[in-house]
């Protein structure tokens, strides 16, 4: 079965982990700092804090952004639920903005409307969480402009976009996660992401104060910094100065991360080559009349965490009919030994969010996107023959 995504672990990765297992450090050692240094090099951010998962990164980023009981935050309706849940973890209440179905990114008009409504209700958002969907960077500058109007912080959910770049309105080429247009950004190192530590994540920031806070939050709120202690009772002494969490990443995982980080450029280059091969095939008949690959925003060079296609609706075709055709394509590919995936079920349709008051019909962009989307296999270990196999299978199902 050809999966939609998977890790690429090579012999030097295994050697790096083995060497760490033979070292004096398994956790809370020097390899964590080495991995964090590698991440700042890959993104351009000043500081990185490695944590146990992308979800942990989102949680701590929300806390560092000041989200507390009674606050509100806004994120995209098409994302993994953690992007919205992090606001709830910090005590806030999430609001959802619709997406542009051609890109999967948060819609700036929809975001502006949601923010205006929250402001009118006396609850302007404390934080906005744009999602770099599928590997393409969201319009961070546009989101930041809306956030600045109400004093909100921006957390870039860059779990999909490590290795991607975008051109700013001033013409500067920037890396995903650089924190130029967001106060904080987060990464994920799940096995299907661009590099992996097994499970793991990181928060990026250019703010030294936020960085110091994040270091404490990931380790129970504890500090040993002599300058911050209220007293000194011996060299063993520490203080819990805030309520933190056990969100540390181990040295063993970071050894894998350091090894993988050195391969990011190669991995992303292969993802882009796979995407180009797909694009050439799907840009020709009969595919171009039947489906469209998810678009990237102008000026963005995607790192292709996912390769998403959307079935093209026929004139006057209902969403339920498109969804039925998507299901037939999904099943047909699996019958041919290919395992696609759907990213993502809109957050507003989840029972937990419906109980919180979100209702159907308020997110037409998300609903239109979801009805026809399908993620095809995309990972650096794929061969050209694998790509051609997927293309041929899609053709067999759609044009029997």
The total of other beta-carbon atoms located within 10 Å of residue 221's CB is 15
Longest distance between any two alpha carbons in the chain, whole Å: 77
Query: Is there a shared CATH topology between the 11-261 domain and the 264-398 domain?
Result: no
Task: Catalytic residue, from 34, 93, 119, 193: name it.
Answer: 193
Taking the C-alpha atoms of residue 229 and residue 226, their distance in angstroms, rounded to an integer, is: 5
Map the chain to HEC letters.
Answer: CECCCCCCCCHHHHHHHHHHHCCCCCECCHHHHHHHHHHHHHHCCCEEEEECCHHHHHHHHHHHCCCCCCCEEEEECCCCCHHHHHHHHCCCEEEEECECCCCCCECHHHHHHHHHHHHHCCCCCCEEECECHHHCCCCHHHHHHHHHHHCCEEEEECCCCCCCEEECCCCCEEECCCCCCCCEEEEECCCCCCCCCCCCEEEEECCHHHHHHHHHHCECCEECCCCCCCCCCCCCCCEECCCCCECCCEHHHHHHHHHHHCCHHHHHHHHHHHHHHHHHHHCCCCHHHCEEECCCCCCEECCCCCEEEEECCCCCCCHHHHHHHHHHHHHHHHHCCECCECCCCCHHHCHHHHHCCCCCCCCHHHHHHHHHEEEECCCCCCCHHHHHHHHHHHHHHHCC
- What's 11-261's CATH class? alpha beta
pLDDT for the residue 359: 86
pLDDT digits (tens, 9 = 90+) for 8-64: 999 999 999 999 999 999 999 999 999 999 999 999 999 999 999 999 999 999 999
Cis peptide leading into 174, omega within 30 of 0?
no
pLDDT for the residue 360: 80
pLDDT-flagged residues of the chain (< 70): none
pLDDT digits (tens, 9 = 90+) for 309-360: 999 999 999 999 999 999 999 999 999 999 999 999 999 999 999 999 998 8
- Let me know if 193 is a catalytic residue: yes
Q: What are the domain boundaries of the chain?
A: 11-261, 264-398
Contacts 24+ apart (CB under 8 A), 142-149: 142/108, 143/106, 143/108, 143/111, 143/181, 143/182, 144/181, 144/182, 146/108, 146/111, 146/112, 146/115, 147/115, 149/115
pTM: 0.97
Q: Is 221 left (phi over 0), alpha (psi -120 to 50) or beta?
A: left
Are 97 and 107 spatial neighbours (Cβ–Cβ below 8 Å)? Answer: yes
Phi, psi of 355 (to 5 degrees): -65, -25
pLDDT for the residue 153: 98
pLDDT for the residue 309: 98
Per-residue CA distances from 237 to 213, 217, 226, 227 (Å): 19, 18, 9, 13
Taking the C-alpha atoms of residue 397 and residue 400, their distance in angstroms, rounded to an integer, is: 6
**Topology (CATH) of 264-398:** 3.90.1150
Average pLDDT score over the chain: 97
């Amino acid at each position: 079965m050809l999966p939609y995504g998977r890790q690429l672990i090579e012999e030097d990765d295994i050697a790096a982990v083995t060497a760490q297992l033979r070292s004096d450090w398994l956790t809370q050692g020097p390899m964590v700092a080495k991995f964090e240094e590698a991440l700042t090099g890959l993104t351009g951010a000043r500081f990185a804090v490695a944590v146990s998962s992308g979800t942990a990164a989102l949680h701590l980023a929300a806390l560092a952004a000041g989200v507390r009981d009674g606050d509100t935050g806004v994120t995209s309706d098409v994302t993994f639920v953690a992007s919205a849940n992090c606001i709830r973890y910090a005590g806030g209440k999430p609001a959802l903005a619709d997406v542009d179905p051609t890109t999967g990114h948060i819609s700036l008009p929809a975001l502006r409307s949601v923010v205006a409504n929250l402001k009118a209700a006396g609850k302007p958002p404390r934080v906005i969480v744009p999602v770099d969907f599928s590997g393409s960077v969201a319009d961070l500058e546009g989101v930041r402009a809306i956030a600045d109007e109400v004093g909100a912080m921006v957390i870039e959910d860059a779990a999909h976009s490590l290795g991607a770049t975008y051109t700013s309105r001033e013409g500067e080429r920037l890396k995903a996660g650089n924190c130029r247009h967001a106060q904080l950004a987060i990464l994920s190192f799940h096995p299907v992401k661009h590099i992996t530590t097994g499970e793991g994540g990181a928060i990026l920031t250019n703010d030294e104060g936020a960085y110091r806070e994040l270091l404490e939050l990931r380790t129970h709120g504890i500090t040993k910094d002599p300058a911050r202690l209220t007293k000194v009772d011996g060299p063993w002494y520490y203080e819990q100065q805030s309520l933190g969490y056990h969100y540390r990443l181990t040295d063993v995982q970071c050894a894998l991360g350091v090894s993988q980080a050195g391969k990011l450029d190669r991995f992303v280059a292969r993802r882009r080559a796979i995407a180009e091969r797909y694009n050439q095939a799907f840009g020709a008949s009969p595919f171009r009349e039947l489906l469209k690959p998810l678009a990237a925003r102008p000026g963005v060079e995607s790192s292709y965490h996912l390769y998403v296609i959307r079935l093209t609706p026929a004139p006057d075709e209902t969403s339920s009919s498109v969804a039925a055709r998507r299901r037939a394509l999904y099943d047909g590919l699996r019958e041919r030994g290919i395992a696609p995936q759907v990213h993502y079920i809109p957050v507003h349709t989840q029972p937990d969010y419906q109980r919180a008051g979100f209702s159907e019909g308020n997110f037409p962009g998300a609903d239109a996107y979801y009805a026809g989307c399908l993620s095809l296999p995309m990972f650096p270990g794929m061969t050209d023959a694998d790509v051609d196999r997927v293309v041929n299978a899609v053709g067999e199902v759609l044009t029997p």
